[in-house]
């Protein structure tokens, strides 16, 4: 039976890399029933919004989606289409593998770690108060009454950082279950509980409590600044990292840098009833229509989707073919060549051709 999957091409270079990814996924032999939907700046004029209701309903109905990168329009009231999708579809876990592939330029080798980022809370909840506003003044008075050591004046903006027991417990249970199902040996809770005692302190306390339910998985904790240093010095010591929203956003890009950049950085946003797979990088509109950009990150996101759908044989076949094309280094885009002006670089579509041929499809 075919998998019914929401397919969102995105905008900018999104449609090109999305089409290349779709061709490779179809070539794995897995049957898909693609439900094509739109989001981003290209649909704004027609729909009046970068995120049409039909797109949201498609994801909620099909339970699985894959999307190209999307440009968030400026001045529309949307902070981010991607963040809006995570909120409305309750996609609470952001999953970002960071894996070394032979042939990708990097100072590191044999990295294979996964970042699990909580999507719904922390400073990314967007609870902010602008300087000079009445609500800000009332909040400042309350803070001064309860924390006389807090020193700030009229020109202060305020952002609130909520961390709850329920959301923290949910993300750590997800991380431990993921580790168990994927043969991972260790989970590391990342925090700043030495300073943020009531928010990150809660995060760490809940993590420690959840870890007791998974005695087969090693558990440890790291302060976030130390974690950054550790990843640069000895990333091979880490396996599954679990972070609140803001730290997770920062460290996921650090992790991508360790393995060669955003061009090989896949991602997924997963909830109880739905999952959406997407590359980590942006839409690069200046390259739109040039058949130039690297589709590997979205293709690797497709591999993650196959695993989520329990199509493990197809996922292995597709990832092995991607790895071989990268290793060979011949039919890859300009950014994966030793020199970016290498005349032997191929285009987005030609990368898909190479991977399909390597799979023997």
CA nearest to 59, candidates 270, 274, 308, 271: 274
Burial pattern 165-182, b for ≥16 Cβ within 10 A else e, equals eebbebbbebbbebbeee
Give the number of other CB atoms < 10 A from CB of residue 138: 11
Answer yes or no: 225 catalytic: yes
Answer yes or no: 124 catalytic: yes
Three-state SS across the chain?
CCEEEEEECCCCCHHHHHHHHHHHHHHCCCCEEEEECCCCHHHHHHHCCCCCHHHHHHHHHHCEEEECCCCCCCCCCCCCHHHHHHHHCCCCEEEEEEECCCCCCCCCCCCEEEEEEECCCHHHHCCEECCCCHHHHHHHHHHHHHCCCCCCCCCCCEECCCCCHHHHHHHHHHHHHHHHHCCCCEEEEEECCCCCCCCHHHHHHHHHHHHCCCCCCEEEEEEHHHHHHHHHHCHHHCCEEEECHHHHHHHHHHHHHHCCCHHHCEEEEECCCCEEEEECCCCCHHHCCCCCCCCHHHHHHHHHHHHHCCCHHHHHHHHHHHHHHHHHCCCCCHHHCCCCCCCCCCCHHHHHHHHHHHHCC
Answer yes or no: 131 catalytic: no
The one catalytic residue among 225, 234, 310, 342: 225
Give the tokens for residue 80: 């981010």
The one catalytic residue among 192, 238, 247, 307: 192
Give the tokens for residue 109: 């080798």
The one catalytic residue among 101, 124, 178, 247: 124
Give the tokens for residue 175: 């991380």
Answer yes or no: 129 catalytic: no
Residue keyed to tokens 């094509």:
36
Known catalytic residues are 124, 192, 225, 249
């Amino acid at each position: 039976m075919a998998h019914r999957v929401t397919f969102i091409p995105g905008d900018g270079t999104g449609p090109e890399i999305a089409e290349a990814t779709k061709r490779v996924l179809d070539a794995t032999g897995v049957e898909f029933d693609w439900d094509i939907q739109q989001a981003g700046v290209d649909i704004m004029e027609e729909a009046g919004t970068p995120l049409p209701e039909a797109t949201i309903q498609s994801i909620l109905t099909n339970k699985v989606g894959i999307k190209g990168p999307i440009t968030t329009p400026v001045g529309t009231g949307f902070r981010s289409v991607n963040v809006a999708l995570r909120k409305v579809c309750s996609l609470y876990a952001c999953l970002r593998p960071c894996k070394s592939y032979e042939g990708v330029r990097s100072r590191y080798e044999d990295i294979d770690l996964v970042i699990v980022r909580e999507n719904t809370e922390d400073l990314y909840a967007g609870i902010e108060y602008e300087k000079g506003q009445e609500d800000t003044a009332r909040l400042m008075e309350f803070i001064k009454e309860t924390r006389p050591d807090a020193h700030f004046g009229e020109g202060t903006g305020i952002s609130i950082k909520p961390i709850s027991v329920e959301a923290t417990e949910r993300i750590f249970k997800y991380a431990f279950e993921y580790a168990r199902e994927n043969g991972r040996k260790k989970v590391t809770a990342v925090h700043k509980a030495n300073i943020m005692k009531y928010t990150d302190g809660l995060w760490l306390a809940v993590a420690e409590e959840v870890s007791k339910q998974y005695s087969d998985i090693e558990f440890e904790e790291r302060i976030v600044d130390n974690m950054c240093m550790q990843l640069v010095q000895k990333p091979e010591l880490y396996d599954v990292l679990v972070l609140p929203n803001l730290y997770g956003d920062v460290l996921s890009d650090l992790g991508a840098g360790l393995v060669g950049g955003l061009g090989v950085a896949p991602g997924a946003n997963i909830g109880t009833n739905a999952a959406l797979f997407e590359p980590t990088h942006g839409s690069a509109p200046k390259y739109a229509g040039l058949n130039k950009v690297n589709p590997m990150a979205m293709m690797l996101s497709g591999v993650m989707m196959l695993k989520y759908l329990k199509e493990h044989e197809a996922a292995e076949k597709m990832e092995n073919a991607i790895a071989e094309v990268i290793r060979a280094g011949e039919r890859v885009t300009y950014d994966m060549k030793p020199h970016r002006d290498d005349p032997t670089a191929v285009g987005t579509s030609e990368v898909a051709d190479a991977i399909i041929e390597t799979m023997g499809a």
